[in-house]
Amino acid sequence: MQYRTWPAFLTACLLVVGEAKSSGQTEKPIVLQHADSLLGLVIDGEEARELVGHVVLSQENVLITCDQAVEFRRQGRWDLAGNVVIRDDTLTLRAPRGSYHRSERRAEAFEDVRLDDRATTLTAVYGEYFVEERRAFFHTNVIVRDSGSVVLSDSLTYFRETRRSISLGHVRAVSSADRVTIYGGRLDHDPVTNYDRMTIDPLLVQIDSTGGGKADTLQVRGRILEAFREGMKRLVAHDSVTMVRSDLAARGQEACLYTEGDSLQLRTKPYLWYEESQVSGDSMNVYLKHRKLERLLVMGNTLTMSESDSLHPGRYDQMMGDLLTMQFDTSGLHRTDVEGRAISVYHLYDDSLANGLNRTSGDRIVILFAGGKAASITVYGGVEGDYFPENMVNKREKEYALPSFRWRTDKPEAVRVLPVHIPPLRKK
Name which residue leads in pLDDT, 87 or 18: 87
> Percent of the chain, pLDDT > 70?
92
Residue 328 falls inside a structural domain: yes
Q: pLDDT of 161-204, one tens digit each?
A: 998 999 999 999 998 877 889 999 999 988 888 899 999 999 99
- Spatial separation of the C-alpha atoms in residues 11 and 51, rounded to whole Å: 9
Report yes or no: 31 and 16 within 8 Å, Cβ to Cβ.
yes
The CATH number assigned to the domain holding 350 equals 2.60.450.10
Overall residue count recorded for the chain in this entry: 428
Contacts with 131 (C-beta within 8 Å, 6 or more apart), sequence order: 62, 88, 105, 106, 107
Mean pLDDT of 236-257: 92
* pLDDT (0 to 100) of residue 210: 52
The 10 Å CB-count burial string (b at 16+, else e) for 67-85 is bbbbbbeeebbbbbbeebb
Backbone angles phi and psi of 231, in degrees to 5: 65, -125
* Domain extent for 372: 269-412
Residue 404 falls inside a structural domain: yes
Question: Where are any strands of DSSP class E within 73-119?
Answer: 77-88, 91-101, 106-117
Residue 225 falls inside a structural domain: no
Residue 299 falls inside a structural domain: yes
Q: pLDDT of 127-160, one tens digit each?
A: 999 999 999 999 999 999 987 789 999 999 999 9
Residue 332 falls inside a structural domain: yes
Report yes or no: 239 and 220 within 8 Å, Cβ to Cβ.
no
Report yes or no: 215 and 427 within 8 Å, Cβ to Cβ.
no
Q: Which amino acid is at 230?
A: E
Residue 2 falls inside a structural domain: no
- Spatial separation of the C-alpha atoms in residues 75 and 57, rounded to whole Å: 17
Residue 427 falls inside a structural domain: no
Q: pLDDT of 85-141, one tens digit each?
A: 999 999 999 999 999 999 999 999 999 999 999 888 999 999 999 999 999 999 999
Report yes or no: 160 and 148 within 8 Å, Cβ to Cβ.
no
* Greatest extent of the chain over all pairs of C-alpha atoms, in Å: 113
Residue 403 falls inside a structural domain: yes
pTM attached to this predicted model: 0.83
Residue 10, classed as helix, strand or coil, is helix
Q: Tally the domains of the chain.
A: 1
